[in-house]
Amino acid sequence: MLEPAGRVVMVSGASRGIGLAIARRLHAEGYALSLGVRSPGRVKAFADLDPARVLVQAFDAQRPEHAAAWVDATLARFGRIDVLVNNAGILRALDLRSGDEDVLDEMWAVNVKAPYRLIRQALPHLEQSGHGRIVNVASTDGKRYRDTVSVAYAMTKHAVLALTHAAKFAGWEKGVRVTALCPGAVDTELVASIPGVTPAANRLAPETVAETVAFLLRLPNTASVAELVMNTRLETWI
């Protein structure tokens, strides 16, 4: 199993929810963290983390130039990148009978194009690590479609799975391993107001997802997990 010491992890959408839970869990493990958030000056959630092992960097998933800037800032601070966790994502309502197509454009930009750009920028450095890791936070909605789910959200999360497998092939020979982590409903603000969502008592805790990420990052190159589904409900296919 790989040891955390000396490894540098980039986490997008790290200011709350799943991203914050991942950041806090990996900090406890001993990783150095580069945390991408939209408004670094407003984030107080990192105040108790060791500043010697933490960089908080501006990252807006809808601004293409931020991907390269964040990677460059991480290298300037730590000199290496071992892990990229693409967590930032949004959910907007859209179906085939109602809703504005602009919603699809917004979700495509944040949920698909932003991780695509970050992978392209970080991949050469992950390859240099020899045991680089990418974790793309997808969803059970990337594994099937339910008619209570935004079609735009399902489309983007299906695309994240395709991106995950493309990245796996791109970096395989140089030790990069890539996982699409597909949780069901997680108890965060993202799902709280969705009609028909899994009741709060039955949702995954963000800390459970974070613990799973910590496990994935410790696996050696000989244990590749391409997809990991964590469902909260009983379904036929997942």
User: Which domains are seen in the chain, by residue range?
Assistant: 8-230 (3.40.50.720)
For residue 230, give both structure tokens. 């964590």
Compute the residue count for the chain.
Answer: 238
Asked which of 49-53, 169-173, 198-202, 205-209 is least confident by mean pLDDT, the reply is: 198-202
pLDDT for 199 equals 81
The confidence band for 147, taking pLDDT boundaries of 50, 70 and 90, is confident
Q: Is the whole model's pTM more than 0.85, yes or no?
A: yes
List of residues 6+ apart from 105 with CB closer than 8 A? none
Residue 42 has pLDDT above 90, yes or no: no
| Average pLDDT in the chain | 95
Instruction: Specify the pLDDT at position 138.
Output: 98
Q: Is 153 a catalytic residue?
A: yes
Is the confidence at residue 190, as pLDDT, over 80?
A: no
pLDDT of 193 over the 70 cut: no
Least confidently predicted of 156-165, 198-207, 224-233: 198-207
C-alpha–C-alpha distance, residues 165 and 228, integer Å? 13
CB 70 within 8 A of CB 118: yes
What is the pLDDT at residue 228?
98
- pLDDT for position 109: 98
State mean pLDDT over 124-151. 96
- Residue 198 pLDDT class (50, 70, 90 cuts): confident
pLDDT of 170 strictly over 90: yes
Average pLDDT on 187-208 reads 82
| 231: nearest Cα among 184, 191, 185, 186 | 184
pLDDT of residue 91: 93
Q: Which amino acid is at 32?
A: A
Tell me the mean pLDDT in the region 122-132: 98
Contact between 85 and 23 under an 8 Å Cβ cutoff? The reply is: no
**CA 114 – CA 135 distance, rounded (Å):** 14
Q: By mean pLDDT, which of 7-21, 83-97, 139-153, 186-200 is the weakest?
A: 186-200
Burial (CB count <10 Å: 0-12, 13-18, 19+), residue 69 = middle
Active-site pick, 31, 116, 145, 153: 153
